[in-house]
Structure 1
Amino acid sequence: MSRKKLVRFKENEENPNVIQDGKAIFESIKGNWNEVQFKNTNPIVVELACGRGEFTVGLGRVFRDQNFIGVDIKGSRIWKGSSTATAEGIHNVAFLRTQIELLDRFFAEGEISELWITFPDPFPRDGDEKRRLTSPRFLDMYKPLLKKGGTVHFKTDNTGLFDYSLALFQEREDINLLGFTHDFYESEWKDDHLGIQTRYEKMFSEKGEKIKYLKFQFKD
């Protein structure tokens, strides 16, 4: 392991905005994010596969009356967002280092107000369907964690993943699809995101890729 990574991992261990294995809070945070981590009662917004945390931190800068949590397994990636939030004094941002399939071990029923799935791995092979973050397996996990009326946002550059997800959401009786577009930056929703982009979103957009977007809620 490189010296740079070792330094970053050490800083993650010391930074209170990183929740990871080895910290006491890691085992007790479920159902206690507001009280223990943020010390307020503001709504909790979670970004899955947050990478370096550009989107999580960007939202935290703008919406100080909400709490934002980026989830990723890569500690060296999380370090970037964690360090940025610390340097800028953004106290409504935190990062959870874990596998996304373990999400329900860290959030209680109804604890999440909004969920973002941003540019996840498309896992294009049919045999990998269950690994897609928009697959039935994951949807069934997200549903109880969201508050009633909580919104799920999904953004991707991958047409195959988007079409798969859209068809699935339209078929499910427990999903209320609120809208979708195959070209986000020519849609009615582009200004709602205030220009905040993930690293991959910026990279794909600069290459001329169309960004796909949809949002939905689970029915009561």
Structure 2
Amino acid sequence: MRLRHKPWATEEMEKYPSIVIQDPQQYKNKWNQLFGNDNPIYVEVGTGKGRFLTGMGEQHPDINFIGIEKYDSVIISAMERVRDSEQTNVKFLNEDVDGLLDFFGEGEIDRLFINFTDPWPKNRHAKRRLTHENFLTLYQNVLKKDGEIHFKTDNQALFEYSLHSMSTYGMSLQNVSLDLHRSSFEGNIMTEYEEKFSKKGMRIYRLEARYKEQ
């Protein structure tokens, strides 16, 4: 993905600290206080321009959503979506997923979404894939014991890798779809990439994974 540099993005985000949270470390174990309720917390890593998360926020007003995106030139679009819709249950962090443990406490997240992440196709880059075992360990620390990971991609190789990675890690898989848009799954919210790829007739792969109790 080629990113267009937006030198004004950081300054613009700072005008809306209630949408793009500054210094998220201060809210570790306190996100419900920020949202002002005890609703479940769902997090999307690599939220992009925010279409999926804002759509989920509209569909589920009784859930709190947090999107993590490290590129300010991308997350600015997500911020604008929330600003224009005046949603109060969607927030964003302009951070890297590697810092997840700095932002969330143990068992603070109810569900985690990974949508159309970079497949990092070369074997030497496997550790960068967001479904690599190192990331699965990271997610396990912040998800509740019955928390789930929902994963979508257009990349068959990444999907097959993720199936193997999660299974080997000891996770249980359910609702595995090899062609989401031709399945009976209801309530799907598309990302920008998902719409682009599906219009080209490409398959969308999806799964739900849960950590088995030790």
Question: Which aligned runs of 4 or more in structure 1 are off by greater than 6 angstroms?
Answer: none
Distance 1:12 1:76 in 2: 10
Point out where structure 2 has 5 or more consecutive residues left out of the alignment.
Answer: none
Name the counterpart of 1:82: 79
Residue 212, structure 1, aligned to residue 214, structure 2: no
Q: Following the alignment from structure 2 to structure 1, what is the Cα–Cα distance between the partners of residues 68 and 195? A: 20
Q: Which residue of 1 aligns with 2:89?
A: 92
Q: Secondary structure at the match of 1:57?
A: helix
- 2:157 aligned partner: 160
Could you tell me how far apart the structure 2 residues matched to 1:123 and 1:7 are? Answer: 30
Equivalent in 19, 25, 28 of residue 27 of structure 1 = 25
CA distance in 1, matches of 2:41, 2:15: 23
Alignment equivalent of 1:192, drawn from 187, 194, 203: 187
> Counterpart of 1:70?
67
User: Per-residue displacement from partner, 1:6-47 (whole Å, max 9, x unpaired)?
Assistant: 33322201112102xxx3x433121111102x1111100001
So what's the TM-score if we normalise by structure 2?
A: 0.93
2:177 alignment counterpart: 181
Q: Give the distance between the partners of 1:132 and 1:158, measured in 2 at CA.
A: 12
Rounded Cα–Cα distance in structure 1 between residues aligned with 2:168 and 2:187: 27
**Aligned-pair RMSD on alpha carbons?**
1.3
- Note the C-alpha offset of 1:60: 0.6
Contact 2:133–2:166 (CA<8 Å) still a contact in 1?
no
CA apart distance, 1:119: 0.2
TM-superposed deviation, 1:96 = 0.7
Aligned residue pair count: 208
Q: Secondary structure at the match of 1:6?
A: coil
Give the corresponding residue for 2:113: 116
Deviation sequence 1:150-184 (CA, Å, 0-9, x none): 111000000110011112222232x1111312101
Q: Kindly state the Cα deviation for residue 82 of structure 1 after the two structures are TM-superposed.
A: 1.1
Alignment of 1:137-148 (within 5 A): 137-148=134-145
Question: Does the aligned pair in 1 maintain the 2:133–2:169 contact within 8 Å?
Answer: no
In structure 2, the partner of 1:18 is: 20
- Rounded Cα–Cα distance in structure 1 between residues aligned with 2:96 and 2:8: 22
**CA distance, structure 2, for counterparts of residue 172 and residue 5 of structure 1:** 39
1:151 maps to 2:142:
no
The within-5 A match list for 1:118-133 is: 118-133=115-130
Identity across aligned pairs (percent)?
39
The gaps in structure 1 that reach 5 residues or longer are none
- What SS is found at the alignment partner of 1:28? helix
